[in-house]
Structure 1
């Protein structure tokens, strides 16, 4: 997995050099991408290579650490910011909380504390990335079961309706992410895309040949079919996992899709 990228901003040369050399960053799964001597230089470096973590001093001239964090939070909201400062004052801590700073380390620098703090953040980022990769893999697996939708979307874009294609793609991604929820509906998809339910349904059918509701049922039934391939799968558990409250309704929908009941389908794999 790709290493987490760290950028240091510290105006005192001896401290900056110590931060670079005293800690074995690679052993933490961290790639030190730069060490800026000012807030301005840090922002310039970020334009070329956005880090995952920013470790910055507060008391820098011109653009101080809090001002730097404010700019970073606005431009790069996913960057986790850590303050390094000898200014043990309530006002700075209060501003840091308001800026949603991830952590606050006081000088004089303690290599072990910095290593522990940055290492913990790096581990958190790795877990988040791993989860995102799992979600992407799960989404891709679902998409592979909907070839007709995936095939028609590029045709919509090629025909010049790029904006419509993106809206439909966004709607489809929303459904793939949320269809397992019992309360998930057309209203949730429309709200996420920013369209009225009527127009979204019309647009979605134009692009894919099916309504949002029909696609939602297809997603749930295909997921149920995958789950039922497990020999010891219980029908009522599968029903619950795909967002159905009523087993009879689930059974009817499944049989309409596959021509057999969930139990009969599962028994094929015993």
Structure 2
């Protein structure tokens, strides 16, 4: 079940929400109902809900100010606005803060239940995406060691001259992976070998082809950058050397089992 906290300063509205909504049927555990934003922050010191149903016009701290603080703390709480203020400015601020929905008073329990059901469905999808990411990462850890470690710490008893050439190729890939149109020929030229021979040698030492290593490195860097919400996905695509966002999306999904957007939503 997902945990939800209510913030509403009007007692009759607060009590109606607590008693009229079929919480368990929705798959929600109601943690409690408080009067203002400060009480919400006090609650967060003890327990963090998955959902917050909050009024906008509350004393001490309004709902939008509360959400600003929650966002600044990078808390993974999804918010639903409840308000009688049918004003565009409030709605615009709420959208900017990425609220799930905006419900107007007077409250309609049936309408609120529909909104909550949609929220629960979204949280389930996000949870499944997180599990898919963890599963993909675990599989990658079990089947392929970290790319850089593979390149520099592989236990390989073959010819040391070959290993040195592969190290040089690996260093070139690490330094150049963000270049658009980086090719096998570019890497081979950097170490003075033919494309075919370098590819065979690289796979012999690392277990990966040049192309596999390049994609792996780019996807690992993309996954790292996706954890920063300030960096746009198209910017990440450009930073790691991709010119086609659709191709980047498919490559990332193949590596991690989810799209870049879904991966970002797991954090």
TM range, smaller chain: 0.5 to 0.7
Secondary structure of 1:16's match?
helix
**Equivalent-residue separation in structure 2 for 1:188 and 1:133 (angstroms):** 32
Matched, 1:99 2:127: no
**Equivalent-residue separation in structure 2 for 1:14 and 1:75 (angstroms):** 31
| C-alpha spacing 1:114/1:139, structure 2 compared with 1 (3 Å) | same
Q: Which runs of 5+ in 1 are unaligned?
A: 154-184, 191-209, 222-241, 244-270
Q: Which runs of 5+ in 2 are unaligned?
A: 151-172, 179-201, 214-249, 252-267
**Equivalent-residue separation in structure 2 for 1:189 and 1:25 (angstroms):** 50
User: What's the offset of the Cα at 1:35?
Assistant: 1.2
TM-score by length of 2: 0.55
Counterpart position of 2:116: 118
TM-score by length of 1: 0.54
User: What's the offset of the Cα at 1:74?
Assistant: 1.2
| C-alpha spacing 1:189/1:49, structure 2 compared with 1 (3 Å) | farther
User: 119, 126, 129: which is aligned to 1:128?
Assistant: 126
Counterpart position of 2:70: 72
Secondary structure of 1:48's match?
coil
Q: Compare relative contact order (CA 8 Å, sep 6+) and give the higher one, 1 or 2.
A: 2
Counterpart position of 1:38: 36
Q: Any conservation in 2 of the 1:57–1:84 contact (CA below 8 Å)? A: yes
Q: Any conservation in 2 of the 1:83–1:104 contact (CA below 8 Å)? A: yes
Q: Any conservation in 2 of the 1:34–1:45 contact (CA below 8 Å)? A: no
User: What's the offset of the Cα at 1:113?
Assistant: 1.1
**Equivalent-residue separation in structure 2 for 1:17 and 1:29 (angstroms):** 20
Counterpart position of 1:235: none
Runs of 4+ in 1 over 3 A off after TM superposition: 185-190, 213-221
User: What's the offset of the Cα at 1:220?
Assistant: 4.9
Q: Summarize the alignment of residues 177-216 of structure 1 with structure 2, pairs less than 5 Å apart.
A: 186=174, 214=206
